[in-house]
Chain A
Amino acid sequence: MSTRLSSGGRLIDTSKPISFTFNGKSLKGYEGDTLASALLANDQMLMGRSFKYHRPRGVVSSGAEEPNALVNLGKGGKFEPNQRATTTELFEGLQATSQNHWPSLEFDIGAINSKLSRFLPAGFYYKMFIHPRPLWKHVYEPFIRQSAGLGQAPSAKDSSTYEHFYAFYDIAIIGGGLAGLQAARVAGASGKRVLLMEQTAHWGGRAQIDEEMVDGVPVDKFVDDTVAHLQSLPNVTLRTRMMGAGIYDHGYLLGYERLSDHVPDAAGPRHRLWRIRVGHIITATGAIERPLSFAENDKPGVVLASALRDYLIGYGVSLGDRTVVVTNNDDAYLTAIAVKNAGLDVPAIIDARQGGAGELGEKARALGIRVETGKGIARVLGGKRVTGVQICAQVGEGAPLEEIPCDCVAMSGGWSPVVHLWSHCGGKLYWDAENVMFRPDVQNYPIGYDGNTFVAVVGAANGHLALDAAIKDACDQTASLAGVSNPPELPSVASRQDALIEAVWMMPAGAGIKLRSKAWLDFQNDVKVSDLQLAAQEGFESVEHAKRYTTLGMATDQGKLSNINGLATLAGALNADIPAVGTTTFRPPYTPISMGAIAGHSRDEVFQPIRQTPMHKWHEAKGAYMEPVGYWRRPYCYPRGGETHAQAVEREINQTRSSLGLLDASTLGKLVVKGPDAGKFLDMLYTNMMSTLKPGKCRYGLMCSENGFLMDDGVVARIDEDTFLCHTTSGGADRIHAHMEEWLQTEWWDWKVYVVNLTEQLAQVAVVGPNARRALEKLGGMDVSKEALAFMEWKDGTLGGFDARVYRISFSGELSYEIAVLAGQGLAFWNALLEAGEEFGVTPYGTEALHVMRAEKGFIMIGDETDGTVIPQDLGLQWAISKKKEDFLGKRAQERSHMVDPDRWRLVGLETTDGSVLPDGAYAVGEGKNANGQKNTIGRVTSTYYSPTLKRGIAMGLVQNGPERMGEVIVFPKTDGTEVTAKIVDQVFYDKEGDKQDV
């Protein structure tokens, strides 16, 4: 059984007990524990189930690479699935539940998959469920979906808060082990701005476990002194619980800081995403131990040798009374020695190497530990827990030589440098066959904006596994890139003589299929040595293909434990060299980061800032139903009493057409174009002639892209000889402003023109209806008679004491004034208009009434009648396209053969024969069928409304040869299978002569 020992535990404080629950059971741990160490202290070795076969899973590692011990953490608004118990710090009241099992962790019905595993090889799902096709959608997929997935998605809204930090440093060091600390010491001496981050809560890394004395003092004191020194430097920032998540182009680094995961009731954000710009990044990210591939190596109780050491020395937790150590390198001997020194039994060290270890071998033997060289494990015995191992000759086929009873197996297949961050942004690797590891290839580095590298890998991450070499590497590289000529002296550390590692990819080397199909590579996704060999045999020879075929490395640990073993197995099956097979791509983040941290503050009301007109609050107070228009919110309608939206819209239209309506038109884009060449410039931008417009007059204009397509429209007013005010659509102001700037800066940069966006400086109100003039006269001020201010003219003056610019323009077909006042006076002016209009029964109206009224008049709307493929000629707007101008944007494109095709769909009005409203976007069908056997389409609906004025459905649409087919009836199939017929008519349904607006 696993248990807490009475002594030991460098990382825990036994004077501070903590209670927590696992699957509802109350358990005890200590401050400094991880959830994994506390569970092990309570003999809870079984922590989860694997993904595919639902096999029992215990913890295998002690850090970020853990694939097995995944739990649901917290509840309600703090619930989070798939949390690694090995990196979860224990806190009072922590609630964890296991996942991926039913009905319970101890008894799981899905474990039947394990018995069927020989029928569920790699690619099983692809092969099995492809035929018959219809069964996939209705039978296979629902079943597979039900049994797939690890933790559950949270059902409650996340109650924590998150934030982003933007930071700038000359040097960022990732990893707070001894190498990282020494790098920070050197970098700190340079005076440059330095950031040092460590993903765990502790400084010192593996040295805190594996070393005794550093520089003549106990290792913990040495680490504390170093950290204290760094803290005293004003140019050095230190952060624990912060991971270097990813490295991106040109020195962009993401840091993921977990502020309150270990103190969930603390105030402030839970996670912080650091978005850092760095001159140089130094990764001192250490190395990860590899498992060994032998049969039944996935049994709970089989752990990495270094992890066992961590639990024993760091947390005072024993994983078993009898530990067999199996290895191909010297490092695992440290585990055997530590276990022995703790008073526990080590029946044997099984060393696959004929020659065995260096000085550590002698030390182990001196402690009375039996060392078997040239041996391997043939099979692990036991069910939900290890009960023993069969040992065999490593070079053989696995005939058992002996059975050794034990309750724990500590394995080591060597160490893989953590090269992830180096690789994120293009750094390449090379295979060091002697030391059996991929190492950063400094000749092929991540390239910064200046063509030089911006990442350096130091210490164990650079392949220097011995501590003395790691520290020297960190100091040397940092001194050179920080420009420190006399770096601080290196601390003295113990060094030792190790024998070389030997590559062992299968134990025993000649294992048959029975053993290979029980030798796990990926513990979470249940990928075995035999699966990789099958993939190779079936032609998935690329490592990227084999990965996707077998799901190797696709678990939540992203292959941190399995990838090197997997690709070596693949290389073996292909009879190729390991470097020829290569690695899969390392992608950020290094370990999963929370969605909340990615979102930061961008949620709820600040997810997207909302633009508000000066009258916005008034609309809200009046109960307006708001709709998004770009980043604006505009009133769609103002329902009164129990009115439906349709009823409100109908009332607003009837009242406006019969008396008086007000529209908040402040969102309309208002661009001032000024300069001696302003007229010439607008002649290029609009299809019509703007330079001939007289000051005081307005003209409706169309703007096309260089492709010829209509992109915006609006009324242009000439203010004086040099100045124009261009109205754009509400959503188009910023886009059209940018469009103008682009042409001015990049094509006609010698033209003397300035453009300013005044949209938010002005509030604008449309005063609309037969009583519009009377209402303005009541306000008093400037002369707004037809004689003083004719249709399509504008004037400056005062109205009711407000300085106003008044345009006689109409988008409704009624007598209409659009009046601009300074934004700060918008609400007061709006209220003054309401008061003046009261005797006329004034109604504010919303965007839907606006749309219906413009459709009754046959006016086009950008985004309804246009969709980026429509040219003005399609919409019957030839009158607004100058024939005199030599050039304007879009003119040449509109001469292209497809644009002058007489068969283009063109704008017409549509009247349903039964008076109903056509469905929006409906297509009209004609004779014949297309190549797919579908009916040919001959047109589509672009705008469709119920017209309260005509008391029937009206619509506009683009129809093939439409204007030549007036009076013809065409058919629109509906989505419910029925059809509706509509007559092609003129698109102006109301006041075609325009008498009403020109009074």
Chain B
Amino acid sequence: MLIFECPYCGIHADETELSPGGEAHLKRFGPGASDEDFEGYLFMRENPKGVHFERWRHSNGCGKWFHAARCTMTLEVFGTYKAQTFEPPQEIKDKITAKRPGWSWRTFS
């Protein structure tokens, strides 16, 4: 029963208020994309033991999608941020670096 702070309404939301939405920061590939790019977009996912970036929706709350950075092993939450972005805010990346020096996730580090 995780708790995430919804970056829109500020509520520390219980997991029962939230719906998971899989990996964050996917880049959409549409018509004209190569088979490889499209396969990567549609099917290939990270499965880290440690730092991960995920999509969640405050579905039984304000209804907004947000992103969460958390550790899949300890469930520690490094931060949450609005979904309207292409990469995690520097502030959250710094927080992760402080706790998990040398971390990297896809192209982020």
- A residues near B, CB below 8 A? 248-252, 277, 426, 447-451, 706-707, 738, 741-742, 745-747, 749, 886-887, 891-893, 895-896
Across the interface, which residues of A come within 8 angstroms of B2, CB to CB? 249-250, 449
Name the distance in Å between B69's Cβ and chain A's nearest Cβ: 12
Name the distance in Å between A882's Cβ and chain B's nearest Cβ: 12
Across the interface, which residues of A come within 8 angstroms of B76, CB to CB? 447-451
Partner of A248, one of B1, B57, B64: B1
Cα–Cα, bound, A248→B16 (Å): 13
Cα–Cα, bound, A277→B11 (Å): 14
Name the distance in Å between A289's Cβ and chain B's nearest Cβ: 33
A891 touches B84 (CB 8 A): no
A892 touches B33 (CB 8 A): yes
Partner of B75, one of A249, A706, A741, A747: A249
Residue from A250, A450, A747, A887 having most chain B Cβ neighbours under 10 A: A250
Across the interface, which residues of A come within 8 angstroms of B83, CB to CB? 745-746, 749
Cα–Cα, bound, A458→B19 (Å): 36
B49 interface contact, C-beta 8 A: no
Name the distance in Å between B31's Cβ and chain A's nearest Cβ: 5
Question: Given A250-B3, A250-B75, A450-B76, does the pair A895, B84 have CB atoms closer than 8 Å?
Answer: no
Across the interface, which residues of B come within 8 angstroms of A747, CB to CB? 28
A450 touches B77 (CB 8 A): yes
Q: Give 19 CB contacts A-B under 8 Å.
A: A249-B15, A250-B1, A250-B2, A250-B75, A252-B1, A252-B14, A277-B3, A277-B14, A449-B77, A707-B42, A738-B59, A742-B57, A745-B64, A745-B83, A891-B31, A892-B30, A892-B33, A893-B42, A895-B31
Across the interface, which residues of B come within 8 angstroms of A248, CB to CB? 1
Partner of A251, one of B3, B35, B99: B3
Name the distance in Å between B39's Cβ and chain A's nearest Cβ: 9
B99 touches A451 (CB 8 A): yes
Across the two chains, which residue of chain A brings its CB closest to B55? Answer: A746
Across the interface, which residues of B come within 8 angstroms of A741, CB to CB? 63, 65
- B residues near A, CB below 8 A? 1-4, 14-15, 21, 28-33, 35, 38, 42, 55, 57, 59, 63-65, 74-77, 83-84, 99
A706 touches B55 (CB 8 A): no
Residue from A450, A745, A749 having most chain B Cβ neighbours under 10 A: A745
Cα–Cα, bound, A741→B57 (Å): 10
A745 touches B3 (CB 8 A): no
Name the distance in Å between B44's Cβ and chain A's nearest Cβ: 14
Name the distance in Å between B97's Cβ and chain A's nearest Cβ: 14
Cα–Cα, bound, A365→B105 (Å): 69
Across the interface, which residues of B come within 8 angstroms of A252, CB to CB? 1, 14
Cα–Cα, bound, A895→B2 (Å): 40
A249 touches B31 (CB 8 A): no
Across the two chains, which residue of chain A brings its CB closest to B74? Answer: A447
Cα–Cα, bound, A450→B59 (Å): 23
Cα–Cα, bound, A371→B75 (Å): 54
Cα–Cα, bound, A249→B76 (Å): 10
Name the distance in Å between A947's Cβ and chain B's nearest Cβ: 40
Question: Given A277-B14, A449-B3, does the pair A746, B74 have CB atoms closer than 8 Å?
Answer: no
A886 touches B77 (CB 8 A): no
Across the two chains, which residue of chain A brings its CB closest to B16? Answer: A275
Name the distance in Å between A125's Cβ and chain B's nearest Cβ: 37
Cα–Cα, bound, A277→B16 (Å): 12
Across the interface, which residues of A come within 8 angstroms of B31, CB to CB? 886-887, 891-892, 895
Cα–Cα, bound, A329→B29 (Å): 70
Q: Which 10 A-B pairs have the closest CB atoms?
A: A252-B1, A451-B76, A749-B84, A447-B74, A250-B3, A745-B65, A449-B77, A887-B30, A892-B31, A248-B1
Cα–Cα, bound, A749→B15 (Å): 25
B14 touches A742 (CB 8 A): no
Across the interface, which residues of A come within 8 angstroms of B57, CB to CB? 738, 742
Cα–Cα, bound, A749→B74 (Å): 32
Across the interface, which residues of B come within 8 angstroms of A426, CB to CB? 74
Name the distance in Å between A783's Cβ and chain B's nearest Cβ: 41
Across the two chains, which residue of chain A brings its CB closest to B63? Answer: A741
Name the distance in Å between B85's Cβ and chain A's nearest Cβ: 9
Across the two chains, which residue of chain A brings its CB closest to B4? Answer: A449
B75 touches A447 (CB 8 A): yes
Residue from A447, A449, A891 having most chain B Cβ neighbours under 10 A: A449
Name the distance in Å between A425's Cβ and chain B's nearest Cβ: 9
Across the interface, which residues of A come within 8 angstroms of B1, CB to CB? 248-250, 252
Across the interface, which residues of A come within 8 angstroms of B75, CB to CB? 249-250, 447, 449
Cα–Cα, bound, A426→B76 (Å): 12
Question: Given A447-B74, A742-B57, A747-B28, does the pair A892, B99 have CB atoms closer than 8 Å?
Answer: no
Name the distance in Å between A866's Cβ and chain B's nearest Cβ: 19
Across the interface, which residues of A come within 8 angstroms of B30, CB to CB? 887, 891-892
Across the interface, which residues of A come within 8 angstroms of B59, CB to CB? 738
B42 touches A706 (CB 8 A): yes
Across the interface, which residues of A come within 8 angstroms of B29, CB to CB? 892
Partner of A742, one of B28, B65, B84: B65
Name the distance in Å between A757's Cβ and chain B's nearest Cβ: 11
Known: A252-B1, A449-B75, A745-B64. 4 other contacts (CB 8 A): A451-B76, A706-B28, A742-B21, A742-B57
Name the distance in Å between A733's Cβ and chain B's nearest Cβ: 15
Across the two chains, which residue of chain B brings its CB closest to A449? Answer: B77
Cα–Cα, bound, A804→B14 (Å): 42
Across the interface, which residues of B come within 8 angstroms of A738, CB to CB? 57, 59
B99 touches A745 (CB 8 A): no
Cα–Cα, bound, A792→B75 (Å): 53
Across the interface, which residues of B come within 8 angstroms of A887, CB to CB? 30-31
Across the interface, which residues of B come within 8 angstroms of A706, CB to CB? 28, 42
Across the two chains, which residue of chain A brings its CB closest to B38? Answer: A892
Across the interface, which residues of B come within 8 angstroms of A448, CB to CB? 76
Name the distance in Å between B29's Cβ and chain A's nearest Cβ: 7
Name the distance in Å between A165's Cβ and chain B's nearest Cβ: 14
Across the two chains, which residue of chain A brings its CB closest to B85? Answer: A749
Across the interface, which residues of B come within 8 angstroms of A742, CB to CB? 21, 57, 65
Across the interface, which residues of B come within 8 angstroms of A746, CB to CB? 21, 55, 65, 83-84
Across the interface, which residues of A come within 8 angstroms of B3, CB to CB? 250-251, 277, 449
Across the interface, which residues of B come within 8 angstroms of A451, CB to CB? 74, 76, 99
Cα–Cα, bound, A746→B65 (Å): 7
Across the interface, which residues of A come within 8 angstroms of B63, CB to CB? 741
Across the interface, which residues of A come within 8 angstroms of B55, CB to CB? 746
Cα–Cα, bound, A406→B63 (Å): 71
Name the distance in Å between B24's Cβ and chain A's nearest Cβ: 9
Cα–Cα, bound, A448→B2 (Å): 9
Name the distance in Å between B7's Cβ and chain A's nearest Cβ: 12
Across the two chains, which residue of chain B brings its CB closest to A744? Answer: B65
Across the two chains, which residue of chain B brings its CB closest to A248? Answer: B1
Across the two chains, which residue of chain A brings its CB closest to B3? Answer: A250
Name the distance in Å between A595's Cβ and chain B's nearest Cβ: 20
Partner of B84, one of A251, A277, A745, A892: A745
Across the interface, which residues of B come within 8 angstroms of A749, CB to CB? 83-84
Name the distance in Å between B83's Cβ and chain A's nearest Cβ: 5
Cα–Cα, bound, A859→B13 (Å): 44
Name the distance in Å between B61's Cβ and chain A's nearest Cβ: 13
Cα–Cα, bound, A171→B65 (Å): 32
Across the interface, which residues of B come within 8 angstroms of A892, CB to CB? 29-33, 38
Name the distance in Å between B17's Cβ and chain A's nearest Cβ: 12
Across the interface, which residues of B come within 8 angstroms of A893, CB to CB? 38, 42
Cα–Cα, bound, A651→B59 (Å): 44
Across the two chains, which residue of chain B brings its CB closest to A745? Answer: B65
Residue from A426, A450, A738, A892 having most chain B Cβ neighbours under 10 A: A892
Cα–Cα, bound, A30→B42 (Å): 69
Across the interface, which residues of A come within 8 angstroms of B21, CB to CB? 742, 746
Across the two chains, which residue of chain B brings its CB closest to A166? Answer: B14
Cα–Cα, bound, A449→B63 (Å): 22
Cα–Cα, bound, A892→B63 (Å): 29
Cα–Cα, bound, A934→B52 (Å): 45
Across the interface, which residues of A come within 8 angstroms of B65, CB to CB? 741-742, 745-746
Name the distance in Å between B16's Cβ and chain A's nearest Cβ: 9
Cα–Cα, bound, A447→B76 (Å): 7
